[in-house]
Structure 1
Amino acid sequence: MTSPLELAITAVSNSRYAFFKFISANDAGTTGGHQAGFYMPKSTVPLMFEDGPGIKGTNKDRLIQIKWQNEFTTDSRFIYYGKGSRNEYRLTRFGKGFPFLKEGNVGDLFILAQPEEDEYLAYVLQTDEEIEDFLNAFNLSPTDSNQLIEKSALTIDQCFQSYIEQLTVEFPKTIALAKQARTCFNQFKQVKPTDVLKHPDAILLDWVKSEYELFRALENNRYQELIKHPLGSVDNLVAIANTVLNRRKSRAGKSLEHHLEEVFYLHKLEFATQAKTEGKKKPDFLFPNETAYQDPLFQSKQLTLLAAKTTCKDRWRQILNEAHRIPKKHLFTLQQGISKNQLIEMQKANVQLVVPKAYKIAFPKEFRPQILSLGEFIAEVKAKQNN
């Protein structure tokens, strides 16, 4: 039986338009508001309405059928609410017993594809492995959510193109790619170190997105000749596909760490990466350093651990035994939304979530005060190190 992940990848590949987002607490109706269904950003108007966006002051809707997980169909509706103070798009009407808008679905990945004008296919992916495999299939980052999926080659920025032409290796190491992406972004957006000090959350997201764009450009450059010619056999096709996907996974897993490291460096925090704690445990970031951690006279309350995981619905438990001297573990993620039950589990396990400031709204309202932004986390660590 074909998995929802495989079906979703095929559907997006063969669609006119496709879109993905992390299911939010607002979508699931757990925030106490009166909204119904999936919030749809304005950027997805081409997928919803052939005749263009809604007009403020009026409501507008379109009735559609959606096939979910290749298993069942709903008679649903795209609607633009433009009357009164409202100005938003939503996907509504799923019928009784609909399984994907419950509290437990917060943080799942919702994918909507439109192969034909009146055909819609939807998928919900629930595990970290499925979510990351989907993103890697299209070389997407969580920062690419809430907009139409670009499947074609992007316009290559002059800075990206110049870098690619000067490379002496096929694919540089991830740390070099991350650094170049920051260089290109900072150059063309005129980002100064002081901007990173003022807006670490926003700049980090820009850097992550920029690196994904650079990597896409590099892949298109490296494989342009290969894809023009027959591959000879299915085995050759599978081997090449596996190479591409494994490289994407490897790069994505380290990308976030490299950009966080630069943010911490510019904020003049004292930290160590992959420092040894107990046994073979090496947390992503240890503040201030390994020497302090191993010194029994150094106060535990002055130590901080930060793990970095692109998504963390399931994998957050992996950090629980990474540093016995630090009871509270901090976890930075690009995950947009996690269910209440998972958040309660994290709290009981003394795990403190850290997310980009703009992503806080994706979490249940009552949990947002306990979730740190990157800027708040930096301030907390800086206060410890200045004492």
Structure 2
Amino acid sequence: MSRNDCVWADGQEFGHQNGVYIPREIRETDFFPPLRNINLEKPHIFETPFSTFWPETGEIRTSNLKHYSNKGSEMHFTGVPKEYFTELTPASMLLGGTLKKSHGESHHWFMVIDSASDEAEILETIFDLSADFHFGLFAPKNISNTSHDESEQLIQELSESLKAGTLDAFIASVSQLPPSSVLASRAQQEYLAQHGLQTLNPYELENPGDAIMKISRDIEYKLYKRAELRHRAAEVVRIITEKNTDLVTAVVRGFPELDATFLSASQHRKSRAGRSFEQHIGRLLSDGHISFEEQAVTGGRRPDFVLPNLRTLKDTTRSFNDALILSAKTTLRERWKQIAMEKFNCSLFLATVDDRVSADAIHDMQHQEICLVVPESLKKSKETCYKDKENVITFRRFFDVDVGSDRLNFLNR
């Protein structure tokens, strides 16, 4: 949802908006009830009331759809529970579907998913939502976390190894997930191949931030999920089959180990993403012939990137603009406050591909003299809080202005 789709519930003034705008592409499908002109004196207004079910509380609402054909292509969805839309994190989602069997008079159900919740992460994984996702229609029967061919191949390999008594050998072959450096490199090469590029030089990319977001949040994550599926599926099969008991007994007895396996999977996903993001930024800096030192230890702190080098940073005779610190975090939450301690008499930049940063957090960063560096599409997005914030710049601006040719001490051409 855009910020306008939810901040109205926080008491902020946004005209007469008291609901969500539905894009034309969704309005023109048969998901919603058909619109019709009810008031002949206003032929430009098409609308329809309909009953909606909100499963979070079991509430049934009389909602309304209205399209002002003389104002734009979007449709206004009103009569929604205001309390569900209050204090939402940016880039939160409205999820809805149709019911096979009506609930009262309702044939449609809806719920709001806060983007900072665990449910949002599950939703993104199940529906395989890309970094540039805005809206879409999905048929549940077509939803899959991996391709049918890949699943069938894994099923066949595991079945054959069980029959042949070589499951241990198969498990050994997938016992280690690829290191983040390997996955990062594979993702970068796949992106280069897709776009016919030879380098990730940020001065040769139109939108270097969007490129990094695509590589880290889409391409690399898909590569990781493929490897993770093979690794975790083999481990689960081992737990269930190693005692040579019936399925129910194996699951019950093996539950603690199964639980630990899935917990490990969740934790590994989160820790992997941060390190890979740093490696992608490092590739931009290297391919752009920009002088930098990575993870340089200074005063008990370890900034992700020091430009141009640690020696310059520590030089007490240098000017403020002779060095800068660039930190990298895929998601911020409260962790950006760690960055505020890294003050070295130079500019402090924080790169992220997180679209969920609140306006209050951005304001606090500005107070701490932290400049947020975000992908170009997120800076102008209606779903984020970045658009009009002075201390939020794009990767394009960062490389062109803050590191560019007018700052020759950063470049090693």
Taking structure 1 as the reference length, the TM-score comes to 0.73
* 2:73 corresponds to: 87
Residue deviations 1:249-300, cap 9 Å, x none? 1211222212121122222221222112321x11222211222222222323
Correspondence for 2:377 among 358, 378, 382: 358
Correspondence for 1:37 among 19, 37, 45: 19
**Structure 1 residues 330 and 43: alpha-carbon distance in aligned structure 2, compared to 1, 3 A threshold:** farther
**Structure 1 residues 234 and 365: alpha-carbon distance in aligned structure 2, compared to 1, 3 A threshold:** closer
State the Cα distance separating 1:317 from its structure 2 match.
1.2
**Structure 1 residues 378 and 90: alpha-carbon distance in aligned structure 2, compared to 1, 3 A threshold:** farther
* 1:385 corresponds to: 407
Which residue identity is paired with 1:335? D
Conserved in 2, the CA contact under 8 Å of 1:307 and 1:330? yes
For residues 85 and 151 of structure 1, what CA distance do their matches in structure 2 show?
A: 35
Secondary structure at 2:407 match in 1: helix
Secondary structure at 1:382 match in 2: coil
Correspondence for 2:228 among 219, 235, 244: 219
Which residue identity is paired with 2:408? N
Greater Rg over alpha carbons, structure: 2
State the Cα distance separating 1:219 from its structure 2 match.
2.1
**Structure 1 residues 296 and 138: alpha-carbon distance in aligned structure 2, compared to 1, 3 A threshold:** farther
* 1:11 corresponds to: none
* 1:28 corresponds to: 7
* 1:155 corresponds to: 147
Residue deviations 1:75-122, cap 9 Å, x none? 275847472352235654324xx23545x5342643626484546352
State the Cα distance separating 1:179 from its structure 2 match.
0.7
Conserved in 2, the CA contact under 8 Å of 1:293 and 1:303? yes
Correspondence for 1:178 among 153, 163, 184: 184
**Structure 1 residues 190 and 278: alpha-carbon distance in aligned structure 2, compared to 1, 3 A threshold:** same
* 1:189 corresponds to: 195
Worse overlay, 362-371 or 170-179: 362-371
For residues 66 and 110 of structure 2, what CA distance do their matches in structure 1 show?
A: 20
* 1:9 corresponds to: none
**Structure 1 residues 53 and 383: alpha-carbon distance in aligned structure 2, compared to 1, 3 A threshold:** farther
Q: Could you say what the CA RMSD is over the residues aligned between the two structures, in angstroms?
A: 4.1
For residues 89 and 179 of structure 1, what CA distance do their matches in structure 2 show?
A: 43
* Residues 1:311 and 2:331 are matched in the alignment: yes
Which residue identity is paired with 2:88? N
Worse overlay, 138-147 or 212-221: 138-147
Correspondence for 1:293 among 300, 313, 317: 313
Which residue identity is paired with 2:221? Y
1:1-387 to 2 correspondences below 5 Å = 24=3, 27-29=6-8, 35-39=17-21, 49=31, 59=46, 63-67=50-54, 70-71=56-57, 73=59, 75=61, 77=63, 79=65, 81=67, 83-84=69-70, 86-88=72-74, 91-95=77-81, 98-102=82-86, 104-107=87-90, 109-110=92-93, 112=95, 114=97, 116-117=99-100, 118=107, 120=109, 122-125=111-114, 130=118, 134=122, 143=131, 145-147=133-135, 152-155=144-147, 170-193=176-199, 196=202, 197-199=204-206, 200-208=208-216, 209-225=218-234, 232=251, 233-279=254-300, 281-326=301-346, 328-360=347-379, 361=381, 362-364=383-385, 367-379=388-400, 380-383=402-405, 385-386=407-408
Residue deviations 1:291-330, cap 9 Å, x none? 222222232332212222222242221211023433x422
Which residue identity is paired with 1:207? I
Conserved in 2, the CA contact under 8 Å of 1:356 and 1:373? yes
For residues 151 and 381 of structure 1, what CA distance do their matches in structure 2 show?
A: 43
Conserved in 2, the CA contact under 8 Å of 1:24 and 1:337? no
Conserved in 1, the CA contact under 8 Å of 2:200 and 2:284? no
Query: Identity over aligned residues, as a percent?
Result: 20
Residue deviations 1:172-203, cap 9 Å, x none? 11011011011122213323437752321221
Secondary structure at 2:388 match in 1: helix
**Structure 1 residues 303 and 256: alpha-carbon distance in aligned structure 2, compared to 1, 3 A threshold:** same
State the Cα distance separating 1:340 from its structure 2 match.
3.1
For residues 173 and 249 of structure 1, what CA distance do their matches in structure 2 show?
A: 14
Which residue identity is paired with 2:146? L
For residues 46 and 29 of structure 2, what CA distance do their matches in structure 1 show?
A: 17
**Structure 1 residues 39 and 133: alpha-carbon distance in aligned structure 2, compared to 1, 3 A threshold:** same
Which residue identity is paired with 2:258? L
Taking structure 2 as the reference length, the TM-score comes to 0.69
Secondary structure at 2:193 match in 1: helix
Conserved in 1, the CA contact under 8 Å of 2:52 and 2:61? yes
Worse overlay, 285-294 or 146-155: 146-155
**Structure 1 residues 145 and 156: alpha-carbon distance in aligned structure 2, compared to 1, 3 A threshold:** same
**Structure 1 residues 124 and 47: alpha-carbon distance in aligned structure 2, compared to 1, 3 A threshold:** farther
List runs of 5+ in structure 1 lacking aligned partners.
1-20
Which residue identity is paired with 1:206? K
Secondary structure at 1:143 match in 2: coil
Number of matched pairs: 351
